[in-house]
Amino acid sequence: MPYSGRLVNRNIENNHYLCGLKFKYKVEKEMQLQQTLRKNYLFEGKGLHTGKVAKMIVGPAPADTGIVFRRTDLGEGMQVEALAENVSNTARSTTISKGEASVSTIEHILSALTGMGVDNAYIDIDNVEVPILDGSAKPYIDAIWADGFVQQEAPRRYIELKEAVEIVNEEKGSRVRIEPAEEFSYDIKVDFNSRVLGVQHAVWNPETVYAEQIGTCRTFVFFHELEFLFSNGLVKGGDVDNAIVIVEHPVTKEQVENMSRLFNIPALEVREDGYLSNLQLRFKNECARHKLLDLIGDLRLCGGFLKAKVTAEKAGHGINTTAAKAVRQTL
């Protein structure tokens, strides 16, 4: 089913948004088919947390494969399926592991593939961490979208719940609820008690174009967290090209100059709106939209496309993947 820009199916009778891309389909209900990529796509760059350079090839896979990561540096057969039961770590990103094979910071590529409606893909990577690229899913969308996808002779497997699943972390005030619905919808509320961010909302539903309104939104970090992460060697691949930096508390000129040295970028400064200079926000609520991007990627670990209503507050990788595990247990 090739397309250019926002295309379609040849059966053009009505417009509908499926997984954030604009598809046209018959008004009468017909079976949705699985789809995969048309060719291989190479991405290369540093991992956000490890700083290690990785080459990653995202390519076609047979029907009913799902999303599978393959560690090419570890030898043949070293692979891990993108499923919630394989989650091994959720500290600042999502890591999946199986045997000796681990892959971290998988949420952006999973989100991109979900947002573009890809059922099956192999992801070959020669290191432990997915490249951060620009901190969003945009590089994947820009590379893959124009070529379109290949329909496969197998029905798409939607994940439909019989009853609601809800995970609550009272200590953090976070919650993820997934409940039965006729179509998918995601609604996230972000509240860091921040004077800069305030309280932000973001949504993904059949009226939202993922590629334009969610996939382009970059990761973010607070200035005071960044200092801690750098000093403890926890963010070796970050720079001001792939992260929005929020300056919540007053900082000294020396602190900003030190950050300039760490990023190897001269003349950084704190803007009046409370962000570190370097990037212009793509949306006023870009940070909430990025948390939504992460949520979509983490919930792909349910094993397919959710046909459900998802609501989340103060969500993060830990509670997202716990919710995905709970859904898997109902299947």
Q: State pLDDT tens for residues 168-193.
A: 999 999 999 999 999 999 999 999 99
262: CB partners within 8 A, 6+ apart = 230
Q: Which one from 49, 108, 290, 317 is the annotated catalytic residue?
A: 317
What pLDDT score was predicted for residue 30? Answer: 60
Q: Residue 202's beta-bridge partner residues?
A: 188
Q: State pLDDT tens for residues 15-59.
A: 233 444 443 322 234 679 999 999 999 999 999 888 899 999 999
Contact (Cβ atoms closer than 8 angstroms) between residue 87 and residue 106: no
β-strands 79-81, 149-155 pairing = unpaired
Contact (Cβ atoms closer than 8 angstroms) between residue 136 and residue 281: no
What letter would DSSP give residue 139? H
What pLDDT score was predicted for residue 81? Answer: 98
Which burial class, exposed, middle or buried, applies to 238 when counting CB atoms under 10 A from its CB (0-12, 13-18, 19+)?
Answer: buried
Q: State pLDDT tens for residues 58-116.
A: 999 999 999 999 999 999 999 999 999 999 999 989 999 999 999 999 999 999 999 99
The packing angle between helices 317-330 and 286-299, to 10°, is 30
| For range 146-152, the mean pLDDT | 95
Identity of the amino acid at 317 = H
How much is the pTM?
0.89
* Domain range summary for the chain, segments of one domain joined by +: 222-263
Q: State pLDDT tens for residues 117-131.
A: 999 999 999 999 999
| For range 304-308, the mean pLDDT | 97
Told to judge if 317 belongs to the known catalytic residues of this protein, a careful annotator would answer yes
Angle CA(16)–CA(18)–CA(23) in degrees, nearest 5? Answer: 50
Q: Is residue 152 predicted with pLDDT exceeding 70? A: yes
Identity of the amino acid at 137 = A
Which tokens sit at 259? 């950050």
Q: State pLDDT tens for residues 224-258.
A: 888 777 776 666 666 667 889 999 999 999 999 88
Identity of the amino acid at 281 = L
